[in-house]
């Protein structure tokens, strides 16, 4: 399988998981247990927070890898 089609399936799976998480947020609304914050009553807040956090970690790791970890090919010459 080509890399492009694998990437397409990965994005499809990611989108499907996001839709399932959002749907579960509406099916099982927050119950109000635990500390109360203004964002605790938003149905899909924690699904969106997790998604945005994962995407941010991926881009930060790519940035660190590109600008901090990688060296030029003639680094040891």
For position 59, what pLDDT does the model report?
94
For position 77, what pLDDT does the model report?
65
Tally Cβ neighbours within 10 Å of residue 6: 10
For position 31, what pLDDT does the model report?
66
Structure tokens at 15: 């989108």
Angle at 52 between CA 56 and CA 71, to 5 degrees: 10
Tell how far CA 23 is from the center of its chain: 17
For position 30, what pLDDT does the model report?
64
Q: What is the mean pLDDT of each run of 10 residues along the chain (77 residues)?
A: 75 89 78 69 80 92 87 75
Signed CA dihedral, 45, 49, 50, 52: sign only = positive
* Residue 19 per-residue DSSP state: H
């Amino acid at each position: 399988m080509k890399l492009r089609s694998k990437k397409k399936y990965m994005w499809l799976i990611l989108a499907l998981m996001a839709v399932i998480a959002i749907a579960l947020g509406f099916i099982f609304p927050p119950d109000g247990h635990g500390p109360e914050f203004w964002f605790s009553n938003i149905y899909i807040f924690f699904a969106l927070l997790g998604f945005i956090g994962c995407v941010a970690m991926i881009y930060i790791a790519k940035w660190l890898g590109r600008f901090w970890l990688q060296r030029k090919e003639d680094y040891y010459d």
